[in-house]
Amino acid sequence: MNADEHRIEVHPEIHFGKPCVKGTRIPVQAVLELVREGLTFTEIIKDYCPDLTRQDVQACLLYK
């Protein structure tokens, strides 16, 4: 497990156990969809997920 993976957590009671960014209820899948739509890290954080950091978005990309 690398350092980025510590930013992702899975809890059965949050989003039916789907991986989320630690300390938030933001699913990894939601962040990945925004990236696939072509949004930059800055746009994702500013316009959609202000609780995230650039490192959180990067961790979503690296999550397996």
The CATH number linked to 51 is 1.10.10.10
- Name the domain count of the chain: 1
pLDDT band at 15 (very low <50, low <70, confident <90, very high): very high
Spatial separation of the C-alpha atoms in residues 46 and 8, rounded to whole Å: 20
Q: How far is CA 6 from CA 38, 47, 52, 56, in A?
A: 25, 24, 14, 10
Supply the pLDDT for residue 20: 97
The whole model's pTM is what?
A: 0.89
The whole domain housing 7 covers 3-62
Q: Which amino acid is at 28?
A: V
| CA–CA dist 59, 64 (Å, integer) | 10
Of residues 47 and 2, more confidence is placed in: 47
User: What tens digit of pLDDT does each residue of 17-39 get?
Assistant: 999 999 999 999 999 999 999 99
Query: Which tokens go with 18?
Result: 């789907």
User: Rounded CA gap, 5 and 12, in Å?
Assistant: 18
